[in-house]
């Protein structure tokens, strides 16, 4: 199914952009996720606020009240509708219960924003297997499992003739686009999110599902530790270019029915700037139409590199 037919009632004039929609945001207890959840609620969405409630490195946190509960309460206090979910979305059980919470509470699911993650930064030669596995698990598996469960629901809806206007917004990073020194695990996971986004967009379009990714730059618990000076909020009250709230308007639009026809794309968002990333495209090419010798291949490669655009620098290099 490729059309935009749906049982969703269009929002009335003057209503929010996401009025009538049910939106799930993972990692929504703090930072970017919290900003997204609040922004969706402000545009009329009913929000499932997911957060596992861990520290910035993924280790367990303590506290009587989890961050998901706090954000859900904040939305309700402002007159919106929200429910908290504290499960681990990088597990089969947690991801399944996340989708079930949306369906059980509100009877539908329209938008999934995959945002949950943490970092364990270390130079490559010092990076442990556990540090690699933990970061790849939360970012990549934590995108895949909620997406798979949501997609199964939307496919079933499409087969029953209830074609959804479903939206998925995945969260990559500049580290996934260009790499980042000291973040081999995080960079690899975020690059994987881009590949997952492209495949999901291609496979799920027939069911009325659009899948896009963002590469945000904002002040969060993760970035403050690595980029403390450049991420600091201005003290003079001027525009705070690193505020996570700057990224959320694009995410809300991508997660709304208004973004019809936009899928399989990657957007960088920072401050007041939005950029469409164009990814890997074929550059200079040579074709011998026969097998190269190693020396010939090397000579050809050097010639092609001389014609090609310079590679983007890795973050933190030089």
| Options 190, 207, 248, 259, the catalytic residue | 190
Instruction: Please answer whether residues 49 and 29 qualify as being in contact, where contact means their C-beta atoms are separated by less than 8 angstroms.
Output: yes
- The whole-angstrom separation of Cα 87 and Cα 192 is 23
Angle, alpha carbons 175-177-180 (nearest 5°): 25
- Read off the tokens for 91: 């597990």
- The whole-angstrom separation of Cα 280 and Cα 177 is 10
141 labelled catalytic: no
| Options 172, 173, 180, 248, the catalytic residue | 173
Angle, alpha carbons 236-240-244 (nearest 5°): 145
List all residues 6 or more positions away from 258 whose beta carbon is below 8 Å from its beta carbon.
Answer: 17
C-beta atoms surrounding 12 within 10 Å: 9
Name the nearest CA neighbour of 249 among 220, 201, 279, 216. Answer: 216
Question: What CA–CA distances, in Å, run from 210 to 1, 14, 39, 204?
Answer: 12, 25, 20, 7
186 labelled catalytic: yes
Evaluated on CA atoms 224, 228, 230, 235, the torsion sign reads positive
The one-character DSSP state at 284 is S
| Options 106, 141, 186, 187, the catalytic residue | 186
Catalytic residues: 173, 186, 190
């Amino acid at each position: 199914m490729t059309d935009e037919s749906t049982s969703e009632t269009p929002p009335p004039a003057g209503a929010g952009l996401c009025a009538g929609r049910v939106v799930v945001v993972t990692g929504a207890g703090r930072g970017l996720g919290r900003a997204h959840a609040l922004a969706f609620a402000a545009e009329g969405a009913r929000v499932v606020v997911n957060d596992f409630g861990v520290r910035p490195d993924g280790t367990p946190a303590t506290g009587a009240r989890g961050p998901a509960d706090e954000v859900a309460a904040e939305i309700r206090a402002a007159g919106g509708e929200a429910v908290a979910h504290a499960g681990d979305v990088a597990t089969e059980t947690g991801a399944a219960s996340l989708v079930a919470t949306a369906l059980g509470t509100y009877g539908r699911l329209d938008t999934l924003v995959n945002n949950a993650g943490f970092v364990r930064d270390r130079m490559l030669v010092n990076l442990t297997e556990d540090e690699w596995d933990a970061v790849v698990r939360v970012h990549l598996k934590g995108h895949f499992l909620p997406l798979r469960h949501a997609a199964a629901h939307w496919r079933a809806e499409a087969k029953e003739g209830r074609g959804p206007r479903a939206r998925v917004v995945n969260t990559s990073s500049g580290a996934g686009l260009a790499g980042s020194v000291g973040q081999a695990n995080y960079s690899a996971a975020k690059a994987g999110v881009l590949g997952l986004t492209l495949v999901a967009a291609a496979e799920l379009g027939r069911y009325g599902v659009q899948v896009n990714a963002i590469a945000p730059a904002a002040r969060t618990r993760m970035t403050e530790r690595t980029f403390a000076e450049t991420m600091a909020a201005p003290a003079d009250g001027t525009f705070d270019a690193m505020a996570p709230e700057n990224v959320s308007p694009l995410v809300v639009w991508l997660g709304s029915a208004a973004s019809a026809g936009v899928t399989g794309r990657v957007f960088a968002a920072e401050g007041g700037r939005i950029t469409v990333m164009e990814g890997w495209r074929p550059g200079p090419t040579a074709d011998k139409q026969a097998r190269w010798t190693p020396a010939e291949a090397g000579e050809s490669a050097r010639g092609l590199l001389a014609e090609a655009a310079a590679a983007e620098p890795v973050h933190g290099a030089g």
